Homo-oligomer: A and B are copies of this chain.
Amino acid sequence: MRETGDAFHLAIPAKDLEEAYAFYVTGLGCQLARRYPDRLTLDFFGDQVVCHLWEQVECEPELYPRHFGVTFREHGDWERLRRLADVRGLPYFAKPFLRFEGMIEEHSSFVLCDPSNNLLEFKHYADPRMMY
């Protein structure tokens, strides 16, 4: 189990900070920690994600080898985020599905695509010991 006091942090490219704000804050419901001319700093589900203004982003979103997200301990948290994505019309890269069905590694997942083609996967494992 991770330490509550520490935070994971991730820097990603954003081709337009207004779009990033609209996706992450207004859409996903992340909190805005700080805003500079060249970046947004977000409290992303308790961790830090920084969107750096960057002209060159992926032309096509691809799941491998890079993506990021949250694995929820409680199914209800995953379910509520899925509902938020539906109600607010966030763009899916992959609709909710079940991976490795019947195996111990079975997990629910869906993948969103941000305006700069970064992919965000949100998962829930039936067995929380498989979260790593």
Contacts and interface: CB of A to CB of B under 8 A. Distances in A.
Task: Decide if the interface of chain A is mainly helix, strand, loop or mixed.
Answer: mixed
A8 to B, nearest CB: 4
Nearest to A65: B13
A35 B103 CA distance: 16
Interface residues of A, number: 62
Interface string A1-45: 111111111111110000000000110010111110000011101
Interface in A66-111: 66-74, 77, 80-81, 83-84, 87-88, 102-104
Interface of A: 1-14, 25-26, 29, 31-35, 41-43, 45-48, 52, 54, 63-74, 77, 80-81, 83-84, 87-88, 102-104, 121, 123, 126-132
